[in-house]
């Protein structure tokens, strides 16, 4: 059995490719919405956030012989847990990560290392700031930006009840919440930026499959400055940016025979 950490559209497509290649697998996602997408595609799925202990138990229970980590580029904790659990279990770990896009040289794009750095840039720039970084790190921005003069903070996030409750608890008014599920076209991004008179957009460098290109291109066309948070830098042993290379690596493991972990469970 192969364990696939999923949750994004491209992760689901990779899981389907692995299944079509004849391998048994189980996928893991955090949200029920992502789980429905997996089940609709005919993929077995476990729903819920996994601790390191949970993941280790799943590897044992399903006699996993390889871990394919196709989690979101910013799911740093999940990737660290997967690498550690695979090492402890003695099974190989493969990282699939959507290809990065190169924006560093553009004059209207400011690259920062983390969310706190993005909040500091926004505090300096002021104006109408649109967050497209999700709800998990929202507090970093509300704590730094709410209450500053000449600042309006607009947060775009998934239309979930827990997100709305978090916004309320952090003091973000309903009029400053855009509760929508993407992906968003360039035209829709531009419409939202224009509607709120956005002067600064904060995003993550998630890669093309994450539609970050549409957000960024829309902002740049309108002359809006972009603060882009760089991806976490983890020391992956094996990392690939396309499905074909992941399948080839799994085939190589199978052909060579894995002599540790649960290698008899192909």
Contact between 98 and 209 (Cβ < 8 Å): yes
- Is 249 in contact with 17 (CB distance < 8 Å)? no
CATH architecture group of domain 2-99+232-256: 3-Layer(aba) Sandwich (3.40)
pLDDT in tens, 71-126: 887 888 899 999 999 988 899 999 998 777 666 667 899 999 999 999 999 999 99
- Report the candidate in 67, 6, 78, 28 with the shortest Cα–Cα distance to residue 249: 67
Contact 6, 30 (CB under 8 A): no
Asked whether 163 and 139 are in contact (CB, 8 A), the reply is no
pLDDT at 258: 56
Give per-residue pLDDT as tens, 144-189.
Answer: 999 999 999 999 999 999 999 999 999 999 999 999 987 789 999 9
Residues 6+ apart with CB under 8 A from 24: 1, 2
| Cα dihedral 52, 54, 60, 65 in deg (nearest 10) | -60
pLDDT of 263 over the 90 cut = no
Candidate CATH numbers 3.40.50.720, 3.40.50.170, 3.40.50.150, 3.40.190.10; the one for domain 109-229: 3.40.50.720
For the record, the structure tokens of 3 come out as: 């364990």
How far is residue 212's CA from residue 132's CA, in Å, rounded to a whole number?
A: 9
**2-99+232-256 and 109-229 in the same fold:** yes
pLDDT value at residue 104: 61
When pLDDT is cut at 50, 70 and 90, the band that residue 211 belongs to is very low
Residues 6+ apart with CB under 8 A from 116: 140, 144
Count of beta carbons in the 10 Å neighbourhood of residue 27: 29
> Using CA atoms, how far apart are residues 60 and 52, in angstroms rounded to an integer?
13
Segments making up each domain of the chain, as ranges = 2-99+232-256, 109-229
Pairing of strands 45-47, 25-29: parallel
Of 28-37, 117-126, 127-136, the range with the lowest mean pLDDT is: 28-37
Q: 3-state DSSP call for residue 32?
A: helix
Strand arrangement of the beta sheet that strand 109-112 belongs to: 109-112, 225-229, 200-204, 127-131, 151-157, 177-179
What local confidence, expressed as pLDDT, does residue 33 receive? Answer: 83
pLDDT, position 255 = 79
């Amino acid at each position: 059995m192969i364990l696939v950490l999923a949750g994004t559209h491209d992760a689901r497509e990779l899981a389907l490719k692995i299944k079509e290649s004849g391998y048994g697998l189980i996928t893991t996602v955090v949200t029920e919405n992502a789980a429905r997408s997996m089940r609709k595609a005919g993929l077995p799925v476990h729903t819920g956030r996994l601790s390191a202990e949970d993941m280790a138990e799943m590897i044992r229970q399903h006699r996993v012989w390889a871990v394919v980590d196709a989690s979101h580029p910013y799911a740093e904790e999940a990737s660290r847990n997967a690498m550690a659990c695979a090492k402890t279990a003695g099974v190989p770990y493969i990282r699939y990560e959507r290809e990065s896009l190169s924006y560093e040289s553009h004059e209207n794009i400011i690259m920062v290392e983390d969310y706190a750095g993005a909040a500091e840039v926004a505090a300096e720039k002021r104006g109408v700031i649109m967050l497209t970084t999700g709800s998990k790190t929202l507090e970093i921005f509300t704590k730094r930006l709410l209450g500053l003069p000449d600042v309006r903070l607009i947060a775009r996030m998934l239309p979930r009840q827990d997100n709305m409750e978090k916004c309320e608890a952090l003091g973000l008014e309903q009029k400053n919440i855009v509760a929508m599920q993407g992906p968003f076209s360039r035209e829709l991004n531009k419409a939202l930026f224009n509607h709120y008179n956005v002067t600064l957009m904060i995003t993550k460098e998630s890669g093309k499959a994450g539609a970050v290109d549409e957000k960024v291109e829309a902002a740049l066309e309108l002359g809006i400055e972009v603060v882009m948070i760089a991806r976490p830098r983890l020391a992956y042993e094996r990392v690939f940016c396309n499905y074909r290379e992941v399948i080839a690596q799994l085939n190589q493991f199978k052909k060579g025979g894995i002599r540790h972990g649960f290698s008899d469970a192909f």
